[in-house]
A and B are shown apart, each in its own frame.
Chain A
Amino acid sequence: MTASVHPTIDEHKQAPPPKKAEAEAKILVASQWTLMWRKFRKHRLAMVGGVITILIYLVVLFAEFLAPFPDAAFSSQYPYAPPQPLHLFDRTADGLRFWPHVNGYAVTINQAALKREFVVDREAKVPVRLLAHGTPYKLLGLFNADLHLVGPVEYDEDPTRILIPMYLLGADRMGRDVLSRLIYGTRISMTIGLIGVALSFIIGLTLGGVSGFYGGMVDNIIQRVIELLRSIPTIPLWMGLAAALPSSWKPLQVFFGITVLLSLIGWTGLARVVRGRFLALRTEDFIMSARLDGNSTARVIRAHMIPAFASHIIASLTLAIPGMILAETSLSFLGLGLRPPIVSWGVLLKEAQNIRAVATAPWLLLPGIAVVIAVLALNFLGDGLRDAADPYGR
């Protein structure tokens, strides 16, 4: 039942079984998007990538609900506390019972190194619950809520402190919850990817479109500019430009500044794709006939050309997001990108810059795993979309 079956051949043979004919009739009238979806569904890795991408963006939307604590809540008592495993059942004299809890810590002071060391204490139990009440927040910025997916049964009213420890993924230098920060970091890192790609898409579509549609001198100039930008090593350039952002800027301004910088250099790939599609389409018969019918240039582009390559563009956009995420992470890791109190994966990994810190608290590298998962998922999704968008592909 693939789209490549030639229905016309069947007309000369005996009538096919009605069910098959029906399916083929559906293919004949199916829109391009339906065909794409069918092809995409067969690409298993791409489906997995798509599902993971959706999950990640759900985390972005519901960060406050999923994170047990606010991202800035700290505790001077538990710096570098190791992860506490979550137990769902408790073993008592009467047998097992459902009583979610985490183990507490036993603190020992290492006299030689003069620092506190934590051992997970099997005896101490901190009761936790699903859908626990905790720090109030605004869900999606609209509704007042205070439910968190997991949280300690008892919690502190002060949103800047963590009194009852529940560090499912460990704590950082200031006793902040790595899991919560990872979840809030997802929001920033994934958003910067989206906004950055959207901005470079606007630049790329405009310049690539102009370049491909008009050709000639304009095309030549724009192509030279693209080659120029591609021949410069991006990270040193980004470092130079990012370092020039005034240090008096507020975190949000820095966020947009960095996004604009990333897209100013990152639009070239998209512009190339758009130009290539324009060049290929320009000579197609249906474009010629649309022009002969007296359509304006704007209408030819909008109504005839863009629908013809929209699917390719979506695939290229998806493939461009990982690059943005990696660039932001690298810059923030170096201390030139986003700055605290904004939490992104790069900002979190900056905590792990020092090998001593990593050796004491290897869980600080966890945001790196988040980066790898997100980049892989988006790559698989983009590859699948690209294959699905290609009507001649195998």
Chain B
Amino acid sequence: MLQFILRRILYMIPTLIVVSIISFIIIQLPPGDYLTTVVTNLRATGETIDEATLAAMEQRYGLNQPIYVQYWKWITGIILRGDFGQSFEWNQPVSALIWGRLFLTFAMSLATLLFTWVVAFPVGIFSAVRQYSIGDYIATIIGYIGLAIPDFLLALVLMYIAFKVFNQSVGGLFSPPFVDAPWSWAKVWDLLKHLWIPVIIIGTGGTAGLIRVMRANLLDELHKPYVTTARAKGMTEFRLILKYPVRIALNPFVSTVGWTLPILVSGSAVVSIVLALPTTGPLLLRALMSQDMYLAGSFIMLLSVLTVIGTFISDILLAWLDPRIRLTQ
């Protein structure tokens, strides 16, 4: 097991390096360098620029040096000092802006993951055990539609319904008094009261996919001889299904976390823009629009890095659950 974990960590390192390089490329892509943008912005607001400040910034980001030196300065700054650079739009260090939003993004993604499981598990079992029943057809149809509706469209339609029918807006994650309040149990409760709308919106697609996988896997298992044996022994049907075939069919729940997590994080980016949630999405979009590249690049990098780590954890979990995986290779 230890060997497996070590090997997975070794695989993860190049991934993380490439992710950081891609993020750095994104930061570098817009024409003109960071400093010129800052200078133009300061000029636009009519402020004078201190030559010494300019020189200090040039030194800090290595702007006159070759690109790999710039990358090296940027990445070592992040790893050693947690310095992600400066957001010129907010005139604050990037690190002051992102952590709270990243936390909410991943809290939302995890809540969505749980929602996906809680719904897909019973519905998938039902669909397989009662194959071709009305319930199965309904689940299949809802599943297909859930896969076909883009997240943001679902968000728009829900907002429209809430606006028309209940005459209220559904945006945000907190009620007004809690937005700037420090964390407390009351605030967490308030968050939970708002969280379910985006969770349902983001989770629909994933739930639909998982129901189909669960149904297909369980259908394969249900006709195997060991099920007949158990039935012949006189086991109750309910116990039988939960005890044997479901346990085998459960594997996709863990093994799909790896690719579910990136999809959820992706989905939450778009949905939170529509619903104006205080997560990474809206700030990332704004940063990209105003070419606030250190902020945008940091978001993209941290979202990717955390997703890679999440995938890593799910792999470890899967290996722990299923000996076949840690023993191969």
> Which residues does A use to contact B, with CB under 8 Å?
224, 227-228, 230-237, 239-241, 243-244, 246, 322, 326, 329-330, 333-336, 349, 352-353, 355, 358-359, 362, 365, 368, 371-372, 375-376, 379-380
Asked whether, in the complex, the Cβ of B311 is within 8 Å of the Cβ of A243, the reply is no
> Which residues does B use to contact A, with CB under 8 Å?
11, 14-15, 18-19, 22-23, 26, 29-31, 144-145, 147-153, 156-157, 159-160, 163-164, 169, 258-259, 262-263, 265-267, 269-270, 273-274, 280, 284-285, 288-289, 291, 296-297, 299-300, 303-304, 307-308, 311
Given known contacts A240-B300, A368-B156, what 10 new A-B pairs fall within 8 Å (CB)?
A: A227-B15, A231-B311, A232-B307, A235-B270, A239-B285, A243-B30, A334-B273, A355-B169, A368-B157, A376-B148
Between A and B, 17 residue pairs with Cβ closer than 8 Å are A224-B14, A230-B262, A231-B307, A232-B22, A233-B262, A233-B303, A234-B266, A235-B269, A239-B300, A241-B29, A322-B148, A326-B150, A330-B270, A355-B159, A355-B160, A372-B153, A375-B148
How long is the Cα–Cα vector from A322 to B149 in the complex, in angstroms?
A: 11
Chain A residues near B297: list those with CB within 8 A. Answer: 240
Asked whether, in the complex, the Cβ of A233 is within 8 Å of the Cβ of B307, the reply is yes
Q: Which of A243, A330, A368 has the most CB of B within 10 A?
A: A243
Chain B residues near A322: list those with CB within 8 A. Answer: 148
Chain B residues near A236: list those with CB within 8 A. Answer: 265-266, 269, 280, 284, 299-300, 303-304
- CB < 8 Å neighbour of B288 from A231, A329, A336, A365: A336
Give the nearest-CB partner of B153 in chain A.
A368
How long is the Cα–Cα vector from A376 to B274 in the complex, in angstroms?
A: 23
A230 touching B259 in the complex, CB below 8 Å, given contacts A237-B304, A243-B289, A334-B270: yes
B108 to chain A, nearest CB (A): 13
Asked whether, in the complex, the Cβ of A231 is within 8 Å of the Cβ of B269, the reply is no
Chain B residues near A233: list those with CB within 8 A. Answer: 262-263, 265-266, 269, 303-304, 307
Asked whether, in the complex, the Cβ of B300 is within 8 Å of the Cβ of A365, the reply is no
B8 to chain A, nearest CB (A): 11
A239 touching B150 in the complex, CB below 8 Å, given contacts A231-B307, A355-B163, A359-B160: no
Chain B residues near A240: list those with CB within 8 A. Answer: 23, 26, 29, 288, 296-297, 300
Asked whether, in the complex, the Cβ of B269 is within 8 Å of the Cβ of A365, the reply is no
**Nearest 3 pairs between A and B by C-beta?**
A244-B29, A235-B266, A243-B288
A234 touching B262 in the complex, CB below 8 Å, given contacts A240-B296, A246-B31: yes
Asked whether, in the complex, the Cβ of A330 is within 8 Å of the Cβ of B152, the reply is yes
How long is the Cα–Cα vector from A232 to B302 in the complex, in angstroms?
A: 10
Chain B residues near A241: list those with CB within 8 A. Answer: 26, 29
A246 to chain B, nearest CB (A): 7
A359 touching B163 in the complex, CB below 8 Å, given contacts A237-B22, A334-B273: yes
How long is the Cα–Cα vector from A242 to B198 in the complex, in angstroms?
A: 25
How long is the Cα–Cα vector from A374 to B270 in the complex, in angstroms?
A: 21
Chain B residues near A368: list those with CB within 8 A. Answer: 149-150, 153, 156-157
A235 touching B267 in the complex, CB below 8 Å, given contacts A228-B18, A330-B150: yes
Give the nearest-CB partner of A394 in chain B.
B219
